[in-house]
Amino acid sequence: MYKDIIRVLFIEDSRAEALAMSTSLAEHGIVTSHYTGIAEVLFPENSMAALLDLNLNATSGVDTLLAFQRRFPHMPVVIVTEIDNPHILSTARKMGVHSCHCKAVNNSTELSETVAVALRDAVNSTHAKQICIIDATIETIRSHANLLRSDSNAHAG
Q: How does pLDDT run across 6-59, given as a tens digit for each residue? A: 899 999 888 888 888 888 889 889 999 999 999 888 877 788 888 888 788 888
User: What CA–CA distance (Å, rounded) separates 117 from 44?
Assistant: 21
CA distance 64 to 145: 23
pLDDT at 32: 92
Residue 33, pLDDT score = 92
Is 136 a member of any domain?
Answer: yes
On whether the CB atoms of residues 154 and 26 are closer than 8 A, the answer is no
Q: What is the CATH number of the domain that holds 116?
A: 3.40.50.2300
Q: For residue 77, is it within any domain?
A: yes
Look at the chain and report how many structural domains it folds into: 1
The answer as to whether 1 is a domain residue is no
Residue 132 and residue 121 in contact, taking contact as beta carbons nearer than 8 Å: yes
pLDDT at 34: 92
| Residue 46 is assigned to a structural domain of this protein | yes
> Could you tell me the pTM of the whole model?
0.74
Average pLDDT over residues 117-122: 83
Residue 36 maps to a domain = yes
pLDDT for 136: 59
pLDDT digits (tens, 9 = 90+) for 61-119: 778 888 888 888 888 888 776 655 677 767 766 765 555 555 566 666 777 788 888 88
> Is the residue at 119 inside a domain?
yes
In a domain, residue 56? The reply is: yes
**Domain membership flag for residue 109:** yes
Query: For residue 93, what are the domain limits?
Result: 6-156
In angstroms, the CA 132 to CA 102 distance is: 7
115-142 average pLDDT score: 69
